[in-house]
Amino acid sequence: MRPFKTTIPIEEARGLLRAGVEPIARTETVPLAAAAGRVAARDVAATIFVPPFSRSAMDGYAVVAADTRGATRDTPVRLRIGERVFTGSTPTRAIGPGTCAEIATGAPLPDGADAVVMVEESSRADDEHVLIGAEAKPMQNIGRKGADISPGDLVLRTGDLLNPSRLGAVAAVGHSDVEVFAKPRVAILSTGNEVVEPGAPLAAGQIYDVNRFTLAAVVDAHGGIPVLHAPARDTLESLNTALDACDDADVIIFSGGSSVGDRDLLIDLVAQRGEVVFHGIAVRPGKPTMFARIGGRPFFGMPGNPTSCLSNAYILLVPFLRATARLPLYAPRTIAASLGRTIVSPANRHQFYTVRLEGTVALPAFKGSGDITSLSKADGYIEIPSDQHTVEEGTTVVVTLF
Ligand code: AMP
Ligand code: MG
């Protein structure tokens, strides 16, 4: 055994990770329909007007506003209907004094018209005439050409997240695809002689690989492409071969073997192939966590214990990966609750303690770092700083929801 000589506080680990982020530089062009949630890699400027023509914002009558002066419900103005203009068609003649056009919402405004009277303010005199029952103000109910977007306007800036409304703006100016930053490729690999893939029979002493799937789900949810590798054995040879297979990854995550036992070889692997940034964090769960650079690439050595591994994936990997992918910070939802049972926390370690919510009461859900149900049966966690040892039943706690 080679015990941890020092551990660093969680805030220091977070700072080192922030400093270690290299935002992805590769870009790719994707169809608009596949671009939701991606990050724009270049500014997009409009080359057209939106709307491309002045149009009616109401179903009603396109009129010359001056013709309606003095009109009221009791003293309406009578206008002749020149034509009917539907969406997708174009008017064939201009509106002159005493005339109007029946017009649909979204249809092009005929020349000469400078207002639209909505149908509710009119009544039909006969097939060819309408009675306008209210004065129209110039430009009322008209969507002016270019009122929304003009040529040269930026509808998207580099770094913008493509949320639904920004996708809409890009579509409005007629682009069918968009250049975005590539998603970081994240190699995920479990280590351990005992670890086998779900679906295979379980021999004596073996367990199923949990971390590969929890890590892949987190990576997928936060802007990365998980690239799954088969488990490696606890030999330097096997780990080296596994590492070679991660050559095209932007981020590498190994789990297991990150602690200080004789069979915990990640530290030896990193000593051979790269540099350690930190090893050992004063947190529970998740103390045996390593961050390193191997061949210039960020390398996470996550604890083998499934809850430790996933907890640090949420707390450390998510911010790192999102920054690498150029995604905005992720702020999980929090709620206040009353602690249902007193918790004792270890000295000198910042604890992420999982809880289950029953109404507004937070009940302890943490079993052990090795138990995936510490997380899978929890709704969120509370944080207990390293200088606090007990949290009494009935205390109001802030629960960060998963
Ligand atoms: P290690 O970090 O390699 O010392 O492993 C700590 C504990 O986590 C051991 O009980 C391992 O069997 C278990 N473990 C390691 N890797 C995994 C994995 N991928 N899935 C589930 N359990 C694991
Ligand atoms: Mg192991």
pLDDT in tens, 143-157: 999 999 999 999 999
**Stretch 246-265: mean pLDDT:** 95
Ligand whose nearest atom lies closest to the CA of 207: 1
Tell me the domains of the chain and their CATH numbers: 10-25+183-324 (3.40.980.10), 27-50+148-181 (3.90.105.10), 55-143 (2.170.190.11), 334-401 (2.40.340.10)
Q: Which atom of ligand 1 is nearest to the CA of 257?
A: 3
**Stretch 59-86: mean pLDDT:** 97
Q: What's the whole-number average pLDDT of the chain?
A: 97
Residue 234 CA, ligand 2 centroid: distance in Å: 7
The model's pTM is 0.93
Residue 3 pLDDT: 72
pLDDT in tens, 157-207: 999 999 999 999 999 999 999 999 999 999 999 999 999 999 999 999 999
Residues, CB-to-ion distance under 5 Å, ligand 2 = 192, 256-257, 304
Ligand 1 pocket test: pick from 188, 193, 206, 207 the residue with the most ligand atoms within 8 Å of its Cβ.
207
Q: Which residues line ligand 1 (CB under 6 A)?
A: 190, 192, 194-195, 207, 209-211, 255-259, 264, 303-306, 370
Give percent above pLDDT 70 in the chain: 100
For atom 5 of ligand 1, which residue has the closest CA?
304
Ligand 1 pocket test: pick from 195, 206, 267, 302 the residue with the most ligand atoms within 8 Å of its Cβ.
195
270: number of CA atoms within 13 Å, CB side?
Answer: 26
- 328 contact partners, CB below 8 Å, separation of at least 6: 161, 322
Ligand whose nearest atom lies closest to the CA of 260: 1
Does the pLDDT value for residue 270 go beyond 70?
Answer: yes
- 200 contact partners, CB below 8 Å, separation of at least 6: none
Residue 5 pLDDT: 78
Residue 341 pLDDT: 97
Would you say the C-alpha torsion 71, 76, 79, 83 has a positive or negative sign? positive
pLDDT in tens, 3-57: 787 999 999 999 999 999 999 999 999 999 999 999 999 999 999 999 999 999 9
DSSP three-state, residue 269: helix
**Stretch 364-378: mean pLDDT:** 95
Q: Which atom of ligand 1 is nearest to the CA of 261?
A: 4
Tell the burial category of 72 from Cβ atoms under 10 Å away from its Cβ (0-12, 13-18, 19+): exposed
Ligand whose nearest atom lies closest to the CA of 258: 1
For atom 23 of ligand 1, which residue has the closest CA?
304
Residue 302 CA, ligand 1 centroid: distance in Å: 10
Q: Are 255 and 210 in contact (CB under 8 A)?
A: no
Report the run of H or E that residue 15 belongs to, with start and end.
Answer: helix 10-19
Residue 62 CA to residue 99 CA, distance in Å, equals: 9
Would you say the C-alpha torsion 385, 386, 388, 389 has a positive or negative sign? positive
Alpha helix positions (H), 55-199: 164-172
- 59 contact partners, CB below 8 Å, separation of at least 6: 103, 104, 105, 118, 119
Report CA-CA distances (Å) from 402 to 129, 315, 332, 397: 64, 11, 7, 16
Cα dihedral: 214, 220, 226, 230 (round 10): 20
Ligand 1 pocket test: pick from 188, 206, 255 the residue with the most ligand atoms within 8 Å of its Cβ.
255
Residue 195 CA, ligand 2 centroid: distance in Å: 8
Residue 305 CA, ligand 1 centroid: distance in Å: 5
Residue 360 pLDDT: 96
Does the pLDDT value for residue 132 go beyond 80?
Answer: yes
**Backbone angle region of 198, left / alpha / beta, with phi > 0 → left and psi within -120 to 50 → alpha:** beta
Residue 1 pLDDT: 58
Residue 127 CA, ligand 2 centroid: distance in Å: 86
Residue 253 CA, ligand 1 centroid: distance in Å: 14
Find the angle CA(116)-CA(117)-CA(122) to the nearest 5 degrees.
150
